[in-house]
Amino acid sequence: MNQFYRDAVARMEEAGVDPEYVLGWQSGYLGHPPLEEQRVSDAWSAGRKDGEEKNADNFSAWAGKAG
């Protein structure tokens, strides 16, 4: 992984971002196939979109929501 990826995930974890968002972001960033429709949450979808765009600026909306 590159430094941007590591730093972004570390910042999300430190901020207590919803784990579903983090997993979605990682999936999108790495280009993994999407989850099955019934397993997708709003947090995962938002993370996936941001990860695909290599955007680490929108996770604050999901901060403090860690399970």
**pTM for the whole thing?**
0.90
**pLDDT higher than threshold 90 for residue 54:** yes
Flag whether pLDDT at 65 surpasses 80.
Answer: no
Angle of helix 3-14 versus helix 19-30 axis, rounded to 10: 170
DSSP string, 25-65: HHHHHHTPPPPPGGG--HHHHHHHHHHHTT--SSGGGGTT-
Amino acid in the structure at residue 43: A
What pLDDT digit, counting tens, does each position of 1-41 carry? 699 999 999 999 999 999 999 999 999 999 999 888 888 89
> What confidence score (pLDDT) does residue 41 get?
93
Q: What is the pLDDT of residue 66?
A: 63
Distance CA 33, CA 62 (A): 22
